[in-house]
Amino acid sequence: MALVYPLLLGLFLAPLLGGDLRRLADLRLRATRLIYLALTLQLVAFPVGAMPWQPSDTTAVVLWLASYACLAAATGINIRLGGMPLIAAGLVANLAAIVANGGHMPVLPAAMRAAGRSYHVHFNSAAASAPHLPWLVDRWAVPDWIPLANVFSVGDVLIALGGVLFPLVATGACRLPASRAAGAEARLSPR
Amino acid sequence: MVRWQIRYIRAMIALGGFAALLVDAGAGLRWK
């Protein structure tokens, strides 16, 4: 949930950097059904609150990986939107760490201590002192005095950067080379 | 419904979908 913060930061910065929030209405995010399907799969795999079921660990991992397939497809379909290539790179990094370590995201003991947590396996996360692909696992922690704080990985950092960039590009506060080219093409093409 | 309301709803739908993508994609942050 903490990954909503970068989006809020981008929305806050956008008008300060000359962006126009009204342009968000022209945004066309495609494949939203796939995104919500992924959300549903993750809720089934990792029930929260009073949800009255508890899938086996294997079932949860399979559902979780299926949700990642949906997210990868949705990200690919929207890859031309600002920030999406960063999010795609973050997804790949996280998925590589998960698959290389048997279906759970490893978390280093130091990161877990820094986050004020202690567990062996909790939902999609598993403590590991010597995981495969160690640079891609959860190795840092947001201080626990920040709401929704938790451990995070290189992939999460890339996803967060994409989350900041997305509203900046969508509002015109930040122009990427590709969007400049697209804009020039739009100006040159006859109506 | 007036035009600005329709545009506001469209913006919220797009941002909501993107926020869902962000929180789902973060393997390390969502469900722990």
Residue A187: per-residue pLDDT: 46
Give A71's contacts in chain B (Cβ within 8 Å): 21, 24-25
Residue B31: per-residue pLDDT: 52
Compute the distance between CA of residue A166 and CA of residue A155 in angstroms, rounded to an integer. 16
Residue A92: per-residue pLDDT: 94
DSSP string over A67-134: HHHHHHHHHHHTTTSTTHHHHHHHHHHHHHHHHHTTTSEEE-HHHHHHTT---SEETTEEE-SS-SSG
Using one digit for the tens of pLDDT, what is the confidence trace for A136-191?
A: 999 999 877 777 778 899 999 999 999 999 999 999 999 877 655 454 444 444 44
State the smallest CA–CA distance between residue B1 and chain A in angstroms: 15
Residue A182: per-residue pLDDT: 52
Q: A77 or B29, which is more confident?
A: A77
Measured over the CA atoms of residue B11, residue B13, residue B17 and residue B23, the dihedral's sign is: positive
Average pLDDT over residues A21-41: 92
State the smallest CA–CA distance between residue A32 and chain B in angstroms: 6
Residue A95: per-residue pLDDT: 93
Residue A180: per-residue pLDDT: 52
Residue A188: per-residue pLDDT: 47
Residue A186: per-residue pLDDT: 45
Residue A101, CB-side half-sphere exposure with 13 Å CA sphere: 27
CB contact under 8 A, A94 and B28: yes
Q: Model-level pTM?
A: 0.88
Q: A186 or A82, which is more confident?
A: A82
Using one digit for the tens of pLDDT, what is the confidence trace for A35-75?
A: 999 989 988 988 877 788 888 989 999 998 999 999 999 99
Residue A133: per-residue pLDDT: 96
User: Chain A contact for B25, CB < 8 A?
Assistant: yes
